[in-house]
């Protein structure tokens, strides 16, 4: 950027995939948040990839993909089942949205 040129700041919607105009942005965001929760659990429990593979019933290369956020081959449902297999509760809450925004899907890791 040239010296003295003005920079434009654009407020995020909270979903980087939607901000980029990608199709299925809500699903992509949900997958990444579930993947982040999985990574956090693996780190907190100091699990090896072999241990994770055994717990999840998948092979080590799939664990590697999962831990590196290569989530194309994993559905949201499967990622939730992985969290349960690692001893986590997964809750889905359906509630009315405020009038001030559009409906959304949100994943929060506790």
Nearest CA among 19, 36, 26, 34 for reference residue 104: 26
Band (pLDDT 50/70/90 cuts) for residue 101 is confident
In a domain, 56, yes or no: yes
In a domain, 9, yes or no: no
Q: What is the rounded average pLDDT of the residues 40-46?
A: 97
> Contact 46/95 with Cβ under 8 angstroms?
no
Longest dimension (CA), the chain: 56
Q: How many domains does the chain have?
A: 1
In a domain, 62, yes or no: yes
Boundaries of domain holding 33: 23-85
In a domain, 66, yes or no: yes
Cα separation values, 100 from 43, 67, 94, 97, Å: 37, 36, 17, 8
> Contact 28/36 with Cβ under 8 angstroms?
no
In a domain, 70, yes or no: yes
Residue 31's domain is classified under what CATH number? 1.10.260.40
In a domain, 36, yes or no: yes
In a domain, 44, yes or no: yes
The average confidence (pLDDT) of the chain is 90
Look at the pTM and tell me if it is higher than 0.85: no
CA 58 to chain centre: 19
DSSP code, position 87: T
In a domain, 76, yes or no: yes
Query: Rounded to an integer, what distance in angstroms lies between the CA atom of residue 68 and that of residue 79?
Result: 14
Q: Per-residue pLDDT tens for 56-94? A: 999 999 999 999 999 999 999 999 999 999 999 998 888
Q: What is the rounded average pLDDT of the residues 92-101?
A: 85
């Amino acid at each position: 950027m040239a010296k003295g040129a003005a920079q434009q700041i654009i407020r995020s919607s909270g979903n980087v995939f939607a901000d980029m105009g990608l199709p299925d942005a809500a699903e992509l965001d949900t997958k990444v948040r579930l993947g982040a929760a999985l990574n956090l659990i693996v780190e907190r429990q100091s699990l090896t990839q072999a241990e994770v593979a055994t717990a999840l019933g998948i092979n080590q290369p799939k664990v590697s993909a999962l831990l590196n956020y290569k989530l194309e081959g994993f559905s949201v449902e499967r990622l939730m089942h992985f969290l349960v297999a690692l001893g986590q509760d997964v809750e889905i809450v359906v509630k009315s949205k405020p009038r001030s925004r559009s409906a959304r899907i949100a994943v929060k890791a506790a």
